[in-house]
Amino acid sequence: MFEIPTDAVLLYDIGGSTASHIGETGVEVSPGDVAIGDANGVVVVPQDIAVDVLGEAEEIEEAEDELRETVRSGVGVLDAFEHHGMFNAIM
């Protein structure tokens, strides 16, 4: 199951009872949506698909962990991507 990264500094409950637009991009955030951010940016996941997105994110994380282990074992990066069938995911 998902764990909060150990380097997470603060967590906020945005709260509110109506939809809001955030920043210059005008991204709509509704009550119950999940907003996750780090130094690289922020992603907002609508509440109605959050569980599905989390499941897919966990599958990606597992695949990336396997890829890293393959590279650590001495396989070249490109060969590791091909071995794990990940070229389609990044191309």
The pTM score is 0.60
Residue range 59-85, pLDDT digits in tens: 888 888 999 999 999 999 989 988 888
pLDDT at 7: 57
- Count of helix runs (H) and strand runs (E) in the chain: 3, 4
Report d(CA 7, CA 77) in Å as an integer: 27
Q: Are 46 and 59 in contact (CB under 8 A)?
A: no
Structure confidence at residue 30 (pLDDT): 85
38: which strand partners?
A: 41
- Coil, helix or strand for 5? coil
- DSSP 8-state symbol, 84: T
